[in-house]
Amino acid sequence: MPEGPEIRRVADRLGKVLVDVPLTQVWFAFPELESMAGRLVNSRVTTVDCWGKALLITFADGHVLYSHNQLYGVWRVHRRGRSPTTGRVLRARLVAGDHTASLYSASDISLWTADTLRQQPFLARLGPDLLTHDVTAEDIVARLSEPRFAGRGLGGLLLDQGFYAGIGNYLRSEILFYAGLAPRKRPKALSEAQREKLADCILTTVQQAYREAGVTNRPTWRKRLQREGKRRSQWRFAVFNRDNQPCHACGDLILRETIASRRLYRCPTCQPE
């Protein structure tokens, strides 16, 4: 399932074709939304943002279209009049200028206003988005020290979207590896230097995944693998999906564990228990 960086990239693609371009069609498959289509087509899109795995399209009249892809939903950008070949079911369509943004197979779609958006049940449970809400390393250090988070194991905490929105399973393994921390460590047991390093790794790893379309491995490590002719799946990550393979940093074999009911990968030497 896409994580925060992938959803942020989708939001950016949609924004390039929709923002401040006159709308010529707004269509929804759901009757409760279709009644608003005529009003929205007379407005315009002002921003396209994401919050965790939710995508938010804001219109000039104050309405916000909320969508969550869940397992099967996907936004596609294509030329007007040239729908992509797909077996997915069309749920929403916005046409602006020469481009169309089509939402397929998602079932969680609703309209809100800027004033009521925080009442949306999914968004109401989320912490700040690491790529949308201008989060700093200092913000993360402070949040790690809050009583509701400080006593929890990092392996579970990083997946909690109420802590920060946008971290999923591959990012969790990569962040903890770069921070040199085992997943059962708790924020309250870390030194100040360790909390600061973890905060920095959270930001830099998520930002790299955004810039490089999901790649989190260090350039020096992945370039060696690329020269050897390895596939993208083999050089994309530092530890994720690399169980029983040598750690790029120390050579020890990567372990696969189950933490918070999800698979996690770590180096036992670089991330000692």
Same domain, 44 and 90: yes
Domain count, the chain: 2
Same domain, 237 and 152: yes
- Which of 100, 124, 148 is the endpoint of a domain? 124
3-state helix, strand, coil in the chain (%, to 5): 35, 25, 40
Q: Which of 80, 262, 263, 268 is catalytic?
A: 262
- Residue matched to tokens 């449970």: 125
Same domain, 240 and 147: yes
Q: Is 72 helix (H, G, I), strand (E, B) or coil?
A: coil
Asked if 82 is an active-site residue, the reply is no
pLDDT recorded at residue 195:
98
CA distances from 42 to 22, 23, 31, 53, 94 (A): 8, 7, 19, 28, 12
Same domain, 177 and 211: yes
Q: Is 32 helix (H, G, I), strand (E, B) or coil?
A: helix
The letter for the amino acid at 4 is G
CB atoms within 10 A of CB 227: 9
pLDDT recorded at residue 262:
95
Asked if 3 is an active-site residue, the reply is yes
* pTM, entire model: 0.93
- Asked if residue 182 lies in contact with residue 272, where contact means CB atoms within 8 angstroms, the answer is yes
User: Tens of pLDDT along the chain (273 residues)?
Assistant: 689 999 999 999 999 999 999 999 999 999 989 999 999 999 999 999 999 999 999 999 999 999 998 878 899 999 988 888 888 999 999 999 999 999 999 889 999 999 999 999 999 999 999 999 999 999 999 999 999 999 999 999 999 999 999 999 999 999 999 999 999 999 999 999 999 999 999 999 999 999 999 999 999 999 999 999 999 999 999 999 999 999 999 999 999 999 999 999 999 999 998
pLDDT recorded at residue 270:
98
Q: CATH no. for residue 261? A: 1.10.8.50
Q: Which of 8, 53, 91, 242 is catalytic?
A: 53
- Asked if residue 174 lies in contact with residue 205, where contact means CB atoms within 8 angstroms, the answer is yes
- Which of 124, 146, 178 is the endpoint of a domain? 124
Q: Which of 3, 91, 93, 222 is catalytic?
A: 3
User: Domain range for residue 188?
Assistant: 137-266
Look at residue 272 and tell me if it is in a domain: no
Asked if 262 is an active-site residue, the reply is yes
- Residue matched to tokens 């009583």: 147
